[in-house]
């Protein structure tokens, strides 16, 4: 009986942890215009992630990838921000990076619109 109870408790804990780890899909707006990403932007563990190249290009930046350092350098005309691969997450074969980290490092203002489940980048 104790063994069955332990198995049930373990199964419930696994179900709960899986539910807490699930991504929440969100919208991203840059300068008031919605940007559609593939894969879609998402919140995981309180951090909003969007595809590396598409999110950089959406804010007017370009990306250079250094495979040996496993680092992307995202640059605008006046500043650059390095993003290491371990700072992002992989969804399929796409690397998603923290939207706030990139945007604020490039001098953009980032806000969260809870009513719309959206990130707004100015």
Percent over 70 (pLDDT), the chain? 83
Q: C-alpha angle 110/19/5, rounded to 5°?
A: 155
Measured distance CA(85)–CA(8) in Å, rounded:
38
pLDDT band at 18 (very low <50, low <70, confident <90, very high): very low
- Structure-model confidence comparison of residues 18 and 22, the more confident one: 22
Give the single-character DSSP code of 116: T
7-11, 24-28, 80-84, 101-105: segment of lowest average pLDDT? 7-11
CA dist 33 and 58 (Å) reads 10
DSSP string, 47-92: EEEEEHHHHHHHTT-EEEEETTTTEEEEE-SS-EEEEEGGGSEEET
Place of tokens 């919605």: 34
pTM: 0.80
């Amino acid at each position: 009986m104790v063994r069955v109870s332990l198995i049930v408790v373990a199964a419930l804990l696994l179900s709960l942890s899986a539910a807490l780890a699930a991504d929440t899909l969100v919208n991203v707006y840059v300068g008031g215009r919605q940007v559609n990403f593939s894969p879609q932007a998402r919140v995981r563990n309180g951090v909003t992630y969007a595809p590396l190249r598409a999110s950089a290009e959406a804010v007017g930046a370009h990306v250079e990838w250094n495979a040996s350092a496993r680092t992307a350098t995202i640059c605008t005309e006046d500043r650059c921000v390095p993003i290491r691969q371990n700072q992002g997450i992989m969804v399929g074969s796409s690397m998603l990076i923290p939207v706030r980290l990139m945007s604020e490092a490039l001098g953009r203002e980032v806000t969260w619109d809870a009513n719309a489940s959206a990130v707004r980048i100015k």
